Structure 1
């Protein structure tokens, strides 16, 4: 994969986007742009964009779609020495998706949706426990700590975050579905949308994504494939 491209990950909370991003950054020499972190970084800079971001954050206001797009535009220029970058947290709506099209210009946009069943997401997230001291994440369902309720790394107490309670997870999933359906429709029509079954183990998911990135078509082509079709 040598062509510079923008990779957009879609997927519900707990779909495994972070895990796959880490591997892609390492193995494909891609950059990772977390728009939340990028915005906070810009807010510390004494620039026009930084001042605008800082003023919004200090007032507790939502940052406008246009301002977020400008943050992405600046980082895109910085990332040209890589094979591309993975966007985390952008776009979240159709306005942002259209702004990203303007920013990208001739740069291909590839969209990967990691599709996971609701019961799998609930099992993954409801099993998470976070250390009160070092912040390390354990999972009682998949990688339980050696001693129940105790962090393997530092010995401090493990707790369940409020947003990992099953009823909260279900509300988060409902919001995600409402926000994401217009995006999947938008990118499907553009022929740059690929869907992978995220219920599988992380290695299998990564192999599917890697195969798509190395052998699939760019946004100029028709790569609207489901995970089943991709494996056919």
Structure 2
């Protein structure tokens, strides 16, 4: 690992941005660049617990079968269980030495090494968290609202909320010109990444399609939903002093800015 890719303290990150802004792309690039950084996806945790028939998974599956939303407290329990299993979170009234497992998910491999570290306790929390570099993660899918963020604060504090912003007209152009090969997920854009033959996948020659939500009206409705929930969420993290905004027209423009700020705050 090169020095600028090595972290000096734990990074606990969320990415906030409008639909189509490229949050998944930036997260993937960060995980690849920083091996100490892991991904914790609330959706993946939920599916894993349902698949493994855990007590939480059984409860969640019953709710989903009735068409009900999985409540915030259940998602928080999934996140808490994941963090405690990794050794990054521990119940306790004060900091104490615990064993932290070093786990990297960036390259689909994991290594395990133990170290005795002091784990600080977040304010008003029943849990203590590790500030060791290998306890770094990007939290995906939660929180989406200020209320959820406040609940998460009681479990573990986020120390960098990245607001990814691309102008509306750029995103609209991107999604309206996006075509997908359903079987593989390969994505094309007629503006900047067109297929070799119009309407056909480069590899198989099969027809490309547009997703149902890749049209202006659907996207604008999703944008309104995002803005209603995200503005209070961004204000929440701004008040905590951990909000950072990055602006750009493309992922290739934005990612280097994220790397620079991330390394400024967490790099060795």
User: Shorter-normalised TM-score: what interval?
Assistant: 0.7 to 0.9
Tell me what 1:214 maps to. 263
The answer to whether 1:143 aligns with 2:149 is no
Deviation per CA, 1:172-227: give whole Å up to 9, x if none.
1111111100001111000000000032x43332221122122138xxxxxxxxxx
Task: Note closer, same or farther for the CA distance 1:16–1:198 as it changes in structure 2 (3 Å cut).
Answer: farther
The answer to whether 1:103 aligns with 2:159 is no
Give me the TM-score of the superposition, normalised by structure 2.
0.75
Q: Confirm or deny: 8 A CA contact 2:14 2:158 kept in the other structure.
A: no
Query: Post-superposition shift, 1:148?
Result: 0.6
Query: Post-superposition shift, 1:93?
Result: 1.1
Tell me what 2:40 maps to. 33
Alpha-carbon distance in structure 1 between the residues aligned to 2:241 and 2:73: 25
Look up the SS of the partner of 2:180 in the other structure.
strand
Q: Confirm or deny: 8 A CA contact 1:25 1:32 kept in the other structure.
A: yes
Task: Note closer, same or farther for the CA distance 1:113–1:58 as it changes in structure 2 (3 Å cut).
Answer: same
Q: Confirm or deny: 8 A CA contact 1:132 1:158 kept in the other structure.
A: yes
Report matched runs for 1:107-118 at 5 Å. Answer: 108-118=158-168
Tell me what 2:29 maps to. 23
Report matched runs for 1:132-211 at 5 Å. Answer: 132-199=182-249, 201-211=250-260
Count of residue pairs the alignment pairs up: 214
The answer to whether 1:75 aligns with 2:82 is yes
Q: Confirm or deny: 8 A CA contact 1:134 1:154 kept in the other structure.
A: no
The answer to whether 1:63 aligns with 2:62 is no
Alpha-carbon distance in structure 2 between the residues aligned to 1:112 and 1:89: 14
Q: Where do 5+ consecutive residues of structure 1 fail to align? A: 218-232
Q: Confirm or deny: 8 A CA contact 1:110 1:192 kept in the other structure.
A: yes
Q: Where do 5+ consecutive residues of structure 2 fail to align? A: 1-6, 89-101, 103-133
Give me the TM-score of the superposition, normalised by structure 1.
0.86
Query: Post-superposition shift, 1:83?
Result: 4.6
**Whose Rg is larger?**
2
Q: Which of the pair is proportionally richer in helix?
A: 1
Over aligned residue pairs, what C-alpha RMSD do you find?
1.7
Query: Which of 81, 84, 89 is the matching residue for 2:136?
Result: 84
Task: Note closer, same or farther for the CA distance 1:38–1:7 as it changes in structure 2 (3 Å cut).
Answer: same
Query: Which of 93, 101, 120 is the matching residue for 2:145?
Result: 93
Query: Post-superposition shift, 1:6?
Result: 1.4
Q: Which has the higher contact order (CA 8 A, sep 6+)?
A: 2
Alpha-carbon distance in structure 2 between the residues aligned to 1:108 and 1:179: 18
Tell me what 1:4 maps to. 10
